[in-house]
């Protein structure tokens, strides 16, 4: 089974026996899928199917676990640990479908259901993981592991499971277990409500422009997209939102400073309006509950719990890295600030640079210094061409192919599906792509799966069903989706996660990935995106078919490090803020989260012209697994820069290096120690030199 702590849904609702029987007999979630590649039958699943499906899945899961716990034979890896990996298959399947619908096809009904079932999930997970019989069996296997002749993967997963039990309270006294269960239930409800509030904030804000003069400076594509949004809402004029494909072009190009301020302020103040969607109190409660939980478990802080099983090992090592980079990057961002203020002054303006000005004047300065305007580049980044380019890069590196296929169930009609095959034609998996924003979809970009690589207990191989979800610029009128350079980078990034899942050689659906290693497979893919050789493979003008000219490639390369101080400062500030909140050792009933943020940003010297990339009231990463873990992107930057140097030492498409990366990192990710994987690939531990060089920071 999937590890209990990763199962996100459980439900126990009383239904009359007659209705229950009818629902079970006609419920597609409880039947054999009978679909190509065992893809969930999304089109057949209705909201009313979830309650009886979860109820039955919970019942089966508990029965399967009870068989393990009442086994009178000596606890072994096979009858305890392995058996637990195979248990809960139905619950995992139901959970996957519900989680997918609740992120890409959201409705008020789904949100209401989620508010009810997430706390019940927490109870279900805790009732099993905190059952003393379960821990005693796992502990017995762990203490006698030498006699079971375990292979490397089994030994790694056993050790991880044992330590995970400890970290999650299995060794607590019964009274403390009850307290822990209540904390977990409340955290489950609060984190869900937090994310729902952010989605509501995004969907509720609309900047309506009725005077065409206020569109001055904006690219035609942005204006057309805003007109289509307005027409959809039967509004005269143009609508801009705080979805990034709408907001970013506005704050980069709109000449109207007051409107830039209005939309940017709406973005940086999500969840901070003292209304029904306000997240300040929710965030404070979550932080205090995590402090309480850490103390209950015997840890100094929540950050100490979260880093224990990662490459960082402890919060101090995280701060060592972040502070070193912070000290190196802060002078650079101050130089950038000076340059932008000089441009404002040279234009004859007297105002002081503010956060909503940064993007606008950076774009003007980029054009002045490098003769490069992002609108000049977008026509070469048509989404379909970028997608084909990514597939071509994967083929050159790993020999795999992606072929569009029809007739596959999808969670939303905008999803496209590709069959992935090895060079010899062997089926590797399916790759799903959902690329554009909509009101019924969570923001951001992520990679998940409907099915991970594993083997059944009968030895049948289960191939992965990988799902890439993004929120990129939509097509407008007759113009296809033209991506920004940042969107291109994100597309390569999420594809890297996809390759990680496709290449997995895990035997069990129970992998344990070090969270600060998880971004290596994604971030290394970004390095290929703007290599001249790669650009020539996919960057073609959407109207003329012209391959991107060398002159434009030179401009892109020359400007590659432009405004890097700003980008890195944003990320580092968010990473430090995340860690600072989670280093709290005592509950604070009067915690004012915005004051906490302000005081800490002042303490570390964040300049007032820049906000942390994510502020407390919309820091969804902290609700979705990156709590005390947002630093992982920066930690992985050390790894991905050092790892990409291995390709540069030969050539960027060296297949021997690619094979080593696939065999030692991507295939083993989650079933082997992260440092061991990296050393097996690189021949040594990672070095920070390549990252520092890329940032222009001297050691």
> So which residues are the catalytic ones?
494
Considering Cα of 599, then 605, then 608, then 610, what sign does the dihedral take?
negative
Burial of 211: CB neighbours in 10 Å, binned 0-12, 13-18, 19+? exposed
Those residues whose C-beta lies under 8 Å from the C-beta of residue 461, and which sit 6 or more positions away, are: 453, 454, 455
Grouping H, G, I as helix, E, B as strand and the rest as coil, residue 88 is: coil
Rounded to 5 degrees, φ, ψ at 418 are -130, 135
Distance CA 158, CA 439 (A): 42
Q: Residue written as tokens 């980008």?
A: 567
44 DSSP 8-state letter = G
Q: DSSP states of 124-136 as a string? A: HHHHHHT-HHHHH
Widest pairwise Cα distance in the chain: 84
Distance CA 28, CA 94 (A): 10
Grouping H, G, I as helix, E, B as strand and the rest as coil, residue 373 is: coil
The number of helix segments (H) and strand segments (E) in the chain equals 27, 9
Q: Which residues of 275-305 are buried (b: 16+ CB within 10 A; e: fewer)?
A: eebebbebbbbbbbbbbbbbeebebebbbbb
Distance CA 261, CA 223 (A): 18
Strand residues in 105-185 grouped as ranges (E)? none
Which pairs with CB-CB distance under 8 Å and at least 24 residues apart come from 27-32?
27/52, 27/53, 27/56, 29/53, 29/93, 29/94, 29/97, 30/56, 30/57, 30/90
The 10 Å Cβ neighbour count of residue 75 is 20
Helices (H), 441-516: 485-502
């Amino acid at each position: 089974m999937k590890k209990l702590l990763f199962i996100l849904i459980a439900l126990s609702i009383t239904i009359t026996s007659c209705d229950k029987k009818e629902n079970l007999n006609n419920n597609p979630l409880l039947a054999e899928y009978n679909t190509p590649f065992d893809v969930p039958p999304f089109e057949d699943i209705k909201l009313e199917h979830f309650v009886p499906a979860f109820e039955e899945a919970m019942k089966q899961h508990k029965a399967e676990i009870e068989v393990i716990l009442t086994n009178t034979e000596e606890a072994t890896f096979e009858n305890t640990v392995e058996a637990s990996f195979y248990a809960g298959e139905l619950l995992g399947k139901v959970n996957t479908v519900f989680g997918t619908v609740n992120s890409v096809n959201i409705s008020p009904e789904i949100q209401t259901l989620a508010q009810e079932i997430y706390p019940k999930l927490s109870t279900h997970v805790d009732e099993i993981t905190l059952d003393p019989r379960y821990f005693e069996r796992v502990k017995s296997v762990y203490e006698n592991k030498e006699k079971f002749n375990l292979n490397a993967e089994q030994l790694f997963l056993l050790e991880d499971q044992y330590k995970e039990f400890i970290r999650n309270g299995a060794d607590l006294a019964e009274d403390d277990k009850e307290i822990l269960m209540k904390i977990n239930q409340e955290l489950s409800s609060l984190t869900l409500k937090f994310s729902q509030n952010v989605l509501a904030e995004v969907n509720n804000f609309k900047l309506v422009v009725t005077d065409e003069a206020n569109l001055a400076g904006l690219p035609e594509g942005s204006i057309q997209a805003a007109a289509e949004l307005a027409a959809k809402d039967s509004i005269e004029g143009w609508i801009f939102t705080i979805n990034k494909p709408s907001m970013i072009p506005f704050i980069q190009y709109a000449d109207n400073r007051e409107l830039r301020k209005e939309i940017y302020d709406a973005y940086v103040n999500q969840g901070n309006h003292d209304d029904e969607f306000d997240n300040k109190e929710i965030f404070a409660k979550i932080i205090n509950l995590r402090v309480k939980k850490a103390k209950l478990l015997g840890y100094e802080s929540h950050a100490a719990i979260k880093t224990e099983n990662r490459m960082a090992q402890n919060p101090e090592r995280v701060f060592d890295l972040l502070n070193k980079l912070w000290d190196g990057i802060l002078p650079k961002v101050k130089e950038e600030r000076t340059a932008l203020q000089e441009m404002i002054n040279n234009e004859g303006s007297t105002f002081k640079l503010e956060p909503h000005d940064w993007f606008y004047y950076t774009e003007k300065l980029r054009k002045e210094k490098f003769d490069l305007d992002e609108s000049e580049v977008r026509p070469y980044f048509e989404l379909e061409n970028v997608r084909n380019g990514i597939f071509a890069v994967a083929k050159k590196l790993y020999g795999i192919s992606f072929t569009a296929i029809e007739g596959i169930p999808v969670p939303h009609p905008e999803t496209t599906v590709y069959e992935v095959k090895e060079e010899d034609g062997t089926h590797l998996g399916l790759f799903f792509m959902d690329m554009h924003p909509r009101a019924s979809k969570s923001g951001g970009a992520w990679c998940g799966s409907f099915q991970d690589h594993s083997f059944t207990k009968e030895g049948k191989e289960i191939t992965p069903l990988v799902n890439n979800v993004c929120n990129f610029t939509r097509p407008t009128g007759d113009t296809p989706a033209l991506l920004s350079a940042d969107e291109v980078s994100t597309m390569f990034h999420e594809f890297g996660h996809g390759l990680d899942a496709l290449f997995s050689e895990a035997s069990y659906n129970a992998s344990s990935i070090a969270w600060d290693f998880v971004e290596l497979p994604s971030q290394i893919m970004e390095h290929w995106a703007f290599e001249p050789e790669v650009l020539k493979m996919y960057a073609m003008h959407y109207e003329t078919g012209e391959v991107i000219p060398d002159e434009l490639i030179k401009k892109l390369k020359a400007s590659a490090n432009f405004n890097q101080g700003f980008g890195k400062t944003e990320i580092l500030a968010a990473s430090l803020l995340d860690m600072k909140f989670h280093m709290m050792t005592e509950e604070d009933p009067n915690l004012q989260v915005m004051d906490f943020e302000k005081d800490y940003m002042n303490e570390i010297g964040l300049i007032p012209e820049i906000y942390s990339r994510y502020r407390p009231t919309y820091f969804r990463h902290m609700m979705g697994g990156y709590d005390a873990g947002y630093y992982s992107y920066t930690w992985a930057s050390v790894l991905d820069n050092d790892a990409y140097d291995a390709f540069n030492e030969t050539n960027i498409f060296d297949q021997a290096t690619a094979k080593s990366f696939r065999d030692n990192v991507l295939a083993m990710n989650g079933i082997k120690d992260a440092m061991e994987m990296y050393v097996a690939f690189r021949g040594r531990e990672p070095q920070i030199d390549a990252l520092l060089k890329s940032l222009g920071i001297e050691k």
